[in-house]
Amino acid sequence: MQVPDVIQLLSDHIANQIAAGEVIQRPASAVKELLENAIDAGATEVQLVVKDAGKELVQVIDNGSGMSPTDARMSFERHATSKIKNIEDLFKIRTMGFRGEALASIAAVAQVELKTKKESDDTGTKLVIEGTEVKLQEACATPTGTNIMVKNLFFNVPARRHFLKSNTTEFRHIVDEFTRVALAHPEVAFRLWHNGAEQFHLQSGNLKTRIVELLGKSYEKNLVPVAEETELLNINGFIGKPEAATRTRGMQFFFINNRFIRSAYLHHAVSNGYEGLIEKEAFPFYVLFLEIDPARVDVNVHPTKQEVKFEDDRLMYSYLNAAVKHALARYNIAPSLDFTLSPEIQSLPSVQLPMTERQREETERGYLSNTFSKGGQAHFAEKSDSLKHWKELYAIAASPSAEKVQPATEQAALHNENEISTSINKNTLLVQGAMLVTTVKSGLMLIHIRRAQERIWYERLLQEWNNGSTASQQLLFPMQCELAPQDAILLNEALPDLARIGFDIVPFGQNTYVVQGVPTDLPAGEERNVIDEVIDELKHESAEGTTKRSEKLLAQMARRLSRNKHAIQQPEGQQTLIDELFACSQPEYTPDGKKVFTMVRKEELEEMLG
């Protein structure tokens, strides 16, 4: 009996759906492709209309060159393109994309209606396509340019539609893509509507104006221009002053030949240029354009073209790092002095040869030596002879037998003090300010102080949340907080939950908020950090995650409130911490599942000691 063949060719319909899964992952993916098509068509005005976070409608209207009836029909075929005629062209692409490269993927998973007309044509073309099947093609009256509507995305792929996140999160991704394209093309006017409300109205202008219009007026006074030209690449754009750095990522933009890319390697080059100027956890702001020979960079690593490979990564890193440092130094934000000695200086006799005894005596009699060796002055530097025996002093201090040199009376006083301390501690020991060790019947218990505080605060906040009785403390000086538009979208949704835990935050103009009150125990200056963390959490929230939002919010607040080290410096505070921990319903773990305490049994201790 002959075994039937098992390998079969996929139908064009299924192949298109698989290809679409690589390129069109969410409504924002369609937005990106359609906006880039409009730019490549030479549009000077582009309008984006979105409904239901793009799930119901994504519409892009441009005044570009438009398409002929044949081009309009061909643009929906797989592998249709206007700019690749041979394999060499694949590695010289400078434009974004043109119609056909993404339209086939979009049409495979949505209902698409296209109207387009070239300026030289009397009438335009209308196309209606559902799941790659052409339903209608006819002549129509329409302005020069292209008007494309993508309706009911993933209507024929329910599984993919199910994995879309909440409307707020999906719309934020759309704003992200809109922001990237608008930043790359400040000469083009853009407008964005969502559910009938206009979100952005951007006039054509320069990059600085576009940054301020898109990201907020707070950046206007914090922008530092970058302009460097080298034989490998040209670097232009803006970086932020250190005070513009934030604890959440999202305000970092790299463009290679005007195409937005992601690169952790290049991001490290920029961050390293801020070394000593911002906290390690902070992310600097930047909008940087790198112009490089297309042959030296591969943009086809991933279908979305947001990941790239360079011919020489290390050289790119060095140039970018130097450009950032130079820009910061030029505007007196970072020191530009180079403290490394050049080879010419290192070869001088004064550096190479040892100092003679005569030179030493003359130096010590000189003005500088006398000035810096006089006691009782702010700039006093002690002569080296007085520290000749520092090693011996250190050895005595570090030795376990050091206490033997103390007078007998002093040792007795110290012994009594230790006895009193032990009795007050009730067998509790504070270890390096981070852990408590206490005795129990079966051995020792080690308690992680900050995690214990986190568990205690979480259960306290949860009880207040359930009772609706969270106290709020009004600020004497309310804090004004301006956010990027995409972050303001997320904060708006979280305002009711923040109010329920004690935050009094009110809108104050477009994308600006005023913090008037905070939870009573929140440390001063933590208000913005909590807001940033809430926004960062919402960025990654799934559609089902809204039900657990309150738990995550309370856990974040518990982490912020658990950084009080002073409460456990005194023995009474230590005992209170232990009592409150074991009054919790779940004392063993923090809200995010980290262990709070562990036991070391008597048998284990004896085994350790042999």
For 37-63, write each residue's pLDDT tens digit. 999 999 999 999 999 999 999 999 999
Choice among 9-13, 311-315, 344-348, 476-480 with the minimum mean pLDDT:
344-348
CATH number at residue 227: 3.30.230.10
Tell me, what's the pLDDT at 575?
A: 84
- Asked whether residue 108 is assigned to any structural domain, the reply reads yes
Pairwise CA distance, residues 446 & 432, whole Å? 13
Tell me, what's the pLDDT at 111?
A: 94
> Alpha carbon of 454 to those of 90, 327, 446: distances in Å?
55, 42, 16
Tell me, what's the pLDDT at 227?
A: 93
CATH number at residue 85: 3.30.565.10
Tell me, what's the pLDDT at 400?
A: 46
Tell me, what's the pLDDT at 22?
A: 59
- Asked whether residue 549 is assigned to any structural domain, the reply reads yes
Reported as a single tens digit per residue, the pLDDT across 141-153 is 999 999 999 999 9
Q: How confident is the model at residue 565 (pLDDT cuts 50, 70, 90)?
A: low
Pairwise CA distance, residues 503 & 497, whole Å? 9
End position of a domain, from candidates 146, 167, 202: 202
The answer on 572 and 464 residing in a single domain is yes
Q: What is the distance in angstroms between the CA of the first residue and the CA of the last residue of the chain?
A: 73
Tell me, what's the pLDDT at 356?
A: 66
For residues 586, 588, 594 and 599, what is the CA-based torsion angle, rounded to 10 degrees? 180
- Asked whether residue 185 is assigned to any structural domain, the reply reads yes
The answer on 195 and 212 residing in a single domain is no
Asked if residues 538 and 494 have their Cβ atoms less than 8 Å apart, the reply is yes
Using the predicted structure, report yes or no on whether residue 17 has a pLDDT greater than 70: no
The answer on 244 and 124 residing in a single domain is no
The answer on 58 and 176 residing in a single domain is yes
| Number of independent structural domains in the chain | 4
- Asked whether residue 44 is assigned to any structural domain, the reply reads yes
- Asked whether residue 338 is assigned to any structural domain, the reply reads no
The answer on 18 and 165 residing in a single domain is yes
End position of a domain, from candidates 330, 350, 373: 330
Pairwise CA distance, residues 594 & 451, whole Å? 8
3-state SS assignment for residue 440: strand
| Residue 452 burial (C-beta neighbours within 10 Å; 0-12, 13-18, 19+) | buried
The answer on 256 and 145 residing in a single domain is no
The residue behind tokens 């209507």 is 155
Higher pLDDT, 314 or 174: 174
The answer on 459 and 320 residing in a single domain is no
End position of a domain, from candidates 330, 362, 380: 330
- What's the average model confidence in pLDDT over 202-231? 90
Reported as a single tens digit per residue, the pLDDT across 64-104 is 999 999 989 888 876 555 554 554 555 555 554 444 457 88
The answer on 46 and 190 residing in a single domain is yes
The answer on 309 and 213 residing in a single domain is yes
Q: How confident is the model at residue 117 (pLDDT cuts 50, 70, 90)?
A: very high
Asked if residues 335 and 329 have their Cβ atoms less than 8 Å apart, the reply is yes
Q: Are strands 124-130 and 189-194 parallel, antiparallel or unpaired?
A: unpaired
- Asked whether residue 5 is assigned to any structural domain, the reply reads no
Q: The domain containing residue 121 runs over which residues?
A: 12-202
Percent of the chain whose predicted confidence (pLDDT) is above 90: 29
Planar angle of CA 147, 53, 490, nearest 5 degrees? 135
Tell me, what's the pLDDT at 411?
A: 46
CATH number at residue 507: 3.30.1370.100
Q: How confident is the model at residue 13 (pLDDT cuts 50, 70, 90)?
A: low
- Asked whether residue 490 is assigned to any structural domain, the reply reads yes
The answer on 173 and 94 residing in a single domain is yes
Strand order of the β-sheet with 133-140 is 133-140, 124-130, 111-117, 145-151, 57-62, 45-51, 189-194, 197-202
As a whole number of Å, the CA-based R_g of the chain is 33
- Asked whether residue 358 is assigned to any structural domain, the reply reads no
The answer on 187 and 59 residing in a single domain is yes
The answer on 471 and 494 residing in a single domain is yes
| Residue 515 burial (C-beta neighbours within 10 Å; 0-12, 13-18, 19+) | buried
> Alpha carbon of 348 to those of 159, 221, 518: distances in Å?
74, 46, 63
- What's the average model confidence in pLDDT over 286-303? 79
Tell me, what's the pLDDT at 277?
A: 87
Tell me, what's the pLDDT at 341?
A: 45
DSSP string, 382-437: --GGGGTTHHHHHHHHHSGGGGGGS-HHHHHHHHHHHHHHHHHHTSEEEETTTEEE
Per the confidence metrics, is the pTM higher than 0.85? no
